[in-house]
Amino acid sequence: MPLPSVLNGALQCTKLCKRTGIRCKNPCAYGSKVACKTHGSHKSRNVLRGTDHPRFSHGERTKEVETEHRRASITLLTLRDIGDYLNMFNGGHNSGRKPNGYRKYDMSDPEELALAILATVQDRQVK
C-alpha cells in the first residue's frame, strides 16, 4: 500500500518550518487535518475507536469481551483443578495455553484450596 502523498490528494501539513519559514510539505497524519507527525499530530488521539471506527464490524473481539472471556476461562480452569483434586473427572485435560492471570493452586494445602474456592465464588459475585 503506498504512503499518503500530497500529490495523491492527501491533506498537506499547515505548519511552517522554523528554519526556512516555508510551509511543511509532509502529508497530514491519519485522522488529522492540520499537522503531520513531525509537527505534533498524535495518531493515538486522532484514531477513532470502538463503534466509531470505520472497520468496526460486530464487537465480538473488543477488550472488554476478551477480559470477560479470560475471567470465565480462569474460573473454569480453577473449578477443573478442584474437581481433579476431588477425583470427580476421569479424562484428559484441556490442551493449549493458559489465560493470563491463571494461578495454579496447590490443592493438597487446605489454605490454598480455600483460596481457590473463594476465587471462583468472588468471580461470580463480581458479575
How far is Cα 63 from Cα 85, in angstroms, rounded to an integer? 33
DSSP 8-state symbol, 34: S
Give pLDDT, residue 43.
Answer: 63
Give pLDDT, residue 46.
Answer: 65
Measure Cα distances from 77 to 84, 98, 122 in Å: 10, 9, 15
Give pLDDT, residue 1.
Answer: 47
Higher pLDDT, 52 or 42: 52
> Cell 477480559 sits at which residue?
67
pLDDT digits over 88-126, tens only?
A: 887 777 788 899 989 999 999 999 999 999 988 876 665
119 burial level (CB within 10 Å; 0-12, 13-18, 19+): middle
**Interhelix angle 110-126/63-85, nearest 10 degrees:** 150
Q: Read off the pTM.
A: 0.55
Higher pLDDT, 41 or 87: 87
Mean pLDDT check: name the lowest of 1-10, 18-27, 77-86.
1-10
pLDDT digits over 43-92, tens only?
A: 666 677 778 877 788 878 888 889 999 999 999 999 999 998 888 887 77
